[in-house]
Structure 1
Amino acid sequence: MWGNAFLLSVLYLLVGIVVELIRRRYRSPFFERLSMALDSLPARALELTHGLEPLREAYFNGRVSDLGVRVIFGAVTVAVIFLLALVVGVLMAGLRWAVLRAASSRSGPPKA
């Protein structure tokens, strides 16, 4: 579970870095939209936790740079991916426990 979450986080961050580098170099509308799509996950997570407005205010006041916003978005994305992996892992463990319990109660006690 943790290995998959780590791999997915690294992949997401690598895609984000590549898209951001291409976006800054070529200024293509496609890469602008792709960058916005990648930023929507951490932006929504920050919005749900009431962290987006203080970040926006700090960015527009010059207290946080573009790089700072990218680092914050990257950290939030990694946290969201790990949280989702934890939730899915717990749900799957609960489902496995329920299936094993149902299977063991159906077969009854072992016969001698």
Structure 2
Amino acid sequence: MWGNAFLLSVLYLLVGIVVELLRRRSSSPTVARLSMALDSLPARALEVVHGLEPLRAAYFDGRISDLGVRVLFGIVTVAVIFLLALVVGAIMAVLRWAVLRAASSKGGPPQS
């Protein structure tokens, strides 16, 4: 579970770095849309916890740079991916426990 979350986080961040480099070198609408799509996950997560408006205000006031926003978005994205991995892992553990408990009450392991 931790390995998958780590791998997904690294992959997401690598794709984000490549897209950001492409965005800075070219003004393609496709790259701009891809950049906005990658930014939507951390932006929505910050919006849910009421952190997007203070971040937006800090950005427009000049208290945080583009790089600062990117780093914050990266941290939020990694946190969201790890949280999702934990939730899915917990659900799978509960389902496995329920299947094993049901199988043990019937007198044997589940047949595959």
Question: Following the alignment from structure 1 to structure 2, what is the Cα–Cα distance between the partners of residues 106 and 43?
Answer: 48
- Normalization by structure 2: what TM-score? 0.95
Cα drift, residue 41 of structure 1: 0.1
Task: Tell me what 2:44 maps to.
Answer: 44
What stretches of structure 1 of length at least 5 have no aligned partner?
A: none
What is the RMSD of the two structures over their aligned residues, measured on CA atoms?
0.7
Tell me the distance in 1 between the aligned counterparts of 2:27 and 2:17: 15
Give the Cα–Cα distance (whole angstroms) in 2 for the partners of residues 83 and 5 of structure 1. Answer: 9
Deviation at 1:107, TM superposition (A): 1.0
Sequence identity of aligned pairs in percent?
83
Q: Distance in 2 between matches of 1:50 and 1:26?
A: 33
State how far apart, in whole Å, the 1-side matches of 2:25 and 2:41 are.
24
Cα deviation for residue 62 of structure 1 reads 0.1
Task: For 1:95 and 1:52, locate their aligned partners in 2 and report how far apart those are by CA, in whole Å.
Answer: 35
CA distance in structure 2 between the partners assigned to 1:88 and 1:51 by the alignment: 25
Please state if 1:91 is matched with 2:91.
yes
State how 1:18-33 maps to structure 2 within 5 Å.
18-33=18-33
Please tell me whether Structure 1 or Structure 2 has the larger radius of gyration of its CA atoms. 1
Structure 2 counterpart of 1:102: 102
Look up the SS of the partner of 2:24 in the other structure. helix
